Amino acid sequence: MKSKILVIEDDPSILQMIKHLFESEGMEVFSDESGDSAERIVAAQQPNAAIIDITLPGRSGLEILSSIKKIDPGLAIIMMSGHSNTQYAIEAMKSGAYDYLTKPLELVRLKAVVDKALECNLLSRKVRYTKAVELEKIDDASSDLMIGSSPEMIEIWKMVGKVAQTDATVLIQGESGTGKELLARAIYNNSKRMNRPFMAVNCAAIPENLLESELFGHEKGAFTDAHSRRIGKFEQCNGATLFLDEIGEMSLANQGKLLRVLESQTFERVGGNETIKVDVRIIAATNKSLVAAVKDKSFRIDLFYRLRVVNFFLPALRDRIEDIPLLVNYFTGLFGKKYGKRNSGLAPEAMDMLLRQKWEGNIRELKNVIDSATVMSKSDMLMVDDLFPFLQTRTDSQSPDTSVKNTDNYYAIFRTMLEPVFDRICLKDKGTVFENVNTGLERALVEMAMEKGNNNQVLVSKLLGISRNTLRDRIEKFNLSS
C-alpha cells in the first residue's frame, strides 16, 4: 500500500519540487496551495504525513496544524518556514508538529525527515484507527529576544516546544554569554505557568550563608540581623518558575537542601520548624562542566541527575556563525532605535571581520560591540573603523603578556591587532598607511591616558613620559577635551 503525503505550500515551484520528489518514490501526494481543503483531505484520504508551510495566503500553517490534529491526532506533520522567527519553531512543536524545517529546503534532509515520520506513523496506524478519531519587526522586539536559525538552534526551539508545557526540571548548559537566562525565559514564556512569576537567582553572586535565606527564607532571630521573618524565593514562586543561574557555584550544604525541595517540594525556613510545601518549577543553568564537578566531588551526583531531567546545551557563537548576520541585524536595529540613529546595518567588510572573530564572550560580547559602535559611529552604516576599537582581536586564548616592559611584547600585541585588518587598511589608505596607523595609535594612547588620569595634564604627561607642551599639542591636534 502506497504511503500518502499531504503538501500545503503557496509557492508553486516549491510545491511541484516536493510533489516530484515523493511521487518519484512511489508515494501518493495530495497538494493544496492555500490549505482550504486540508481538513477534507485528511478526513477522506487519511494521509500518513503532512508538509505544511507556516506562511500561507489565508490561514496560517499553525492554524491548519491545530485543525487537522483534531481530525487525526497521530498524523505526522512537518512544518516549514522561510522566516527566522524562533517562535514559529516553538509554537509548531507545542502544537504537536513532528518536525520543523527552514527554507531553503534541503531535499535530502526533507526526505530523511519524511521517511522517519512515515515510519513512526505506519507503526502506530493500526492502533490509532481502531479507536474513534478525536527572524519580527525590530519595533516590536524586546532586548530579551533570542535569535538564531542555525541547525543547532532550530533543534533547541523544537525542544522548547516539546518541554515548555510540562513541569519537568530543566538544566541549561553553555558558556558565559550564550543566552542561558533568555532560553530559560523562552521556556517560561511558553509554559502553562507563564501567568505566574518568573524569578531569577544568581547562585554565584550571593554569599553561601545568605543564599540559603534567599532561597528558603528565615524566621525572626534565626541569626544576627534577622530582625523579622523573610519569605524566600521558593515561597514567592509557589505555582511559578524559579531560575537558578550558575548552579555549579552552590555549596554542597545548599545543594542538599535544594535536592530535598526537588524531591519532595517541601522545606523549612532557616531557624524555623514549620514544613512548607510548594509547587515550583526549577530551571537551572551553569557555564561549568557539572560532570567534572561531580567527579571532583564539588557537585552532588544525585542533584545532577535530578536537575537534568531535560538537558539543553547552548552552542557557543563560534559554533553557529551563520547566526551572526541575524544577530547583527537585530542589534543594529535595536541600538539604532535606542540612540535615535538611522542605521542601515554593516558594511560588507565589517561583517566579514565580525564573522572571523572568536567571540569568546559569545552573544553578550557581540551585543556590547554593536552597542558601543552604534554610540560612537558618525554615519548610518557601521564600518570597520567603528567596530575595531571594541573588538578583542587576539587570535589565541590568551592575550600577549603586557606585564613586562619589553618591546617584543608590544610588537606581538600590535601585530595581533593589525593582522586581521591590515589588508583592508592598505587598500583604504594606500600611500598613507604609516602616517595614519601611527596617528591612530598616538591618539588612542593620549585619549586613554587622559581618561585614566582624569584629564589631569601633570599626571598624564608623567604617565606617558612626555612634556606638558607636547601633551597640550596632542590634545589640540586630536581635539580632545581637557
DSSP state letter for 399: P
Residues of the chain with CATH 1.10.10.60: 429-477
Q: Is the dihedral of CA 9, 14, 16, 22 positive or negative?
A: negative
pLDDT tens-digit profile of 430-466?
788 888 888 888 988 888 888 777 788 877 888 888 8
Fold of 164-313: Rossmann fold (3.40.50)
Q: What's the gap between Cα 61 and its chain centre?
A: 25
Residues 6+ apart with CB under 8 A from 287: 173, 174, 175, 176, 180, 246, 248
What per-residue confidence (pLDDT) applies to 402?
Answer: 42
Delimit the CATH 1.10.8.60 region(s) of the chain.
Answer: 319-390
The Cα 157–Cα 154 span in angstroms is: 5
List the alpha helices (DSSP H) in 95-248: 107-128, 151-163, 180-189, 208-216, 233-236
Domain 319-390's class?
Answer: mainly alpha
Which of 332, 388, 385 is closest to 356 using CA atoms? 388
CB 247 within 8 A of CB 135: no
pLDDT per residue rounded down to tens, the chain (482 residues): 688 999 999 999 999 999 999 999 899 999 999 888 999 999 999 899 999 999 998 889 999 999 998 888 878 899 998 876 678 888 888 888 888 998 888 899 899 889 888 876 664 443 333 233 333 444 444 445 677 777 788 888 888 888 888 999 999 999 999 999 999 998 998 899 999 999 999 998 888 878 988 899 888 877 777 778 888 899 999 999 999 999 999 999 999 999 999 999 999 988 888 899 999 999 999 999 899 999 999 999 999 999 999 999 999 999 889 889 989 988 998 888 888 887 778 888 999 999 999 899 999 999 999 999 998 888 888 998 889 888 864 433 344 444 444 445 677 777 777 776 777 777 777 788 888 888 888 988 888 888 777 788 877 888 888 888 888 888 888 888 65
Task: Identify the three-state secondary structure at position 278.
Answer: coil
Considering the domain delimited by 429-477, tell me its CATH architecture: Orthogonal Bundle (1.10)
Question: What one-character-per-residue DSSP string does 389-418 give?
Answer: GGS---SSSSPPP-SS--HHHHHHHHHHHH
- Residues carrying CATH 3.40.50.2300, the chain: 4-128
E strand or H helix at 12: helix 12-23
CATH number of 4-128: 3.40.50.2300
Give the burial class of 278: count Cβ atoms within 10 A of its Cβ; 0-12 exposed, 13-18 middle, 19 or more buried: middle
Q: Residue 124: its pLDDT value, please?
A: 47
Strand partners for 29: 5
CA-closest candidate to residue 325, choices 461, 149, 72: 149
The phi, psi pair for 301, rounded to 5°, reads -70, -35
Q: Cα(79)–Cα(302) distance, rounded to whole angstroms?
A: 38
